[in-house]
Structure 1
Amino acid sequence: MLLPSHTGAMNGFTPIEDPGIVTERNGKKEAVQDERSDGGKGGMMNQKEADKDPDRQEESPPIDWNVLEKMVPPQPPGSGNLLRKVILLYFDSSSALMRSVREAVEGNDADTLYRAAHTLKSSSAYLGAVVFSGMCKELEMMGHDKTLEGAKDRLAALEHEHERVRESLERHCATLL
């Protein structure tokens, strides 16, 4: 980590162009395609552009990519793509759990809401769906406290965020072939 006195701004170095978003993988620095911040266009967007993007101001990215990248360690060639397999399993389980949450809210079943929202919260956090996981926690607490007032309103927002998470993970999964 560089201390402020060792950064380019402090030693007179002025970059010619902004490098955009960069990550380090397997010891190599590389640019990262950030579909989260450019409306899904698939192009690069640096942090300055992202901060000016009005859509970005309204909603947080559905996936915290730092969490997701830490989840699966580097894999040897030919071992298959573990992350892709985990994401595909998540699609199946999260869809089933969303059905359970929906049925629990519609049926005023606090116990089922608690269990389904708890499981969905944990698995979603594991994959970096931090905002979605937080929304699940709210419903989990409502089920735990057996106070379902307002749960139907939260369900609509949860379904919207679940769709955003799925779309983002599907795009990422397509790059893992």
Structure 2
Amino acid sequence: MAAPVASGAINRHALDAIRALNADKGEALVQRVINAFVADTPAHLQTLRTALTEGDTAAVRRAAHSLKSSSANVGADTLAQLCKDMEQLGRNDTTSGAAPLLTGMEREFHAVRKSLGAILVKEM
């Protein structure tokens, strides 16, 4: 399985939903959520890499599930789908095909990080 080409596409509706949570401080909330996602994701990816190396499919499932949720929160739909695929591998108690999937997730995260950075610069 070839790793998908990174798109970095962001579903803006997810960010709009975060803004809507607080009418007065919506932009600041979006900024905090994006900053937390960008700061936390490398650790999730490292946890996945370690879990794959150790063959720990339960840890793969947990880490992929957590990253799937945070990716969806910031509108990184492609990354969330890749995480869902990785989570399913963990649920199926296998790591077969996980290495190229993780490579695709890492590539997509870097593209998403650039897109989110551009959004912050443009909107803040």
Q: Which has the higher helix share?
A: 2
TM interval, short-chain normalised: 0.7 to 0.9
Give the equivalent residue in structure 2 for 1:123: 70
Give the equivalent residue in structure 1 for 2:24: 76
Structure-1 separation of matches of 2:44 and 2:8: 22
Aligned-pair CA distance for 1:66 = 2.1
Cα contact 1:91–1:166 (8 A) shared by 2:
yes
Cα contact 2:58–2:90 (8 A) shared by 1:
yes
Aligned-pair CA distance for 1:149 = 0.7
Name which structure has the greater RCO, CA cutoff 8 Å, separation 6+: 2
Aligned-pair CA distance for 1:59 = 6.2
Aligned-pair CA distance for 1:61 = 5.1
Amino acid at match of 1:147: T
Long gaps (5+) in structure 2: none
Deviations 1:47-92 (A, max 9, x none): xxxxxxxxxxx76552111222122216327x87111011111112
Give secondary structure in 2 for the equivalent of 1:72. Answer: helix
Q: Which has the higher strand share?
A: 1
Cα contact 1:84–1:176 (8 A) shared by 2:
no
Give the equivalent residue in structure 1 for 2:102: 155
Deviations 1:11-58 (A, max 9, x none): xxxxxxxxxxxxxxxxxxxxxxxxxxxxxxxxxxxxxxxxxxxxxxx7
Amino acid at match of 2:100: D
Whether 1:171 and 2:85 are equivalent positions in the alignment is: no
Structural mapping, 1:1-177, within 5 Å: 60=7, 62-73=9-20, 75-76=23-24, 81-177=28-124
Identity of aligned pairs, percent?
Answer: 30
Structure-2 separation of matches of 1:62 and 1:117: 19
The CA RMSD over aligned residues, in Å, is 2.1
Deviating above 4 A after TM superposition, structure 1's stretches of 4 or more consecutive aligned residues are 58-61
Structure-1 separation of matches of 2:7 and 2:73: 17
Long gaps (5+) in structure 1: 1-57
Equivalent pairs, count: 119
TM-score, structure 2 as length reference: 0.85
Structure-2 separation of matches of 1:80 and 1:120: 23
TM-score, structure 1 as length reference: 0.61
Structure-1 separation of matches of 2:101 and 2:27: 38
Amino acid at match of 2:44: L
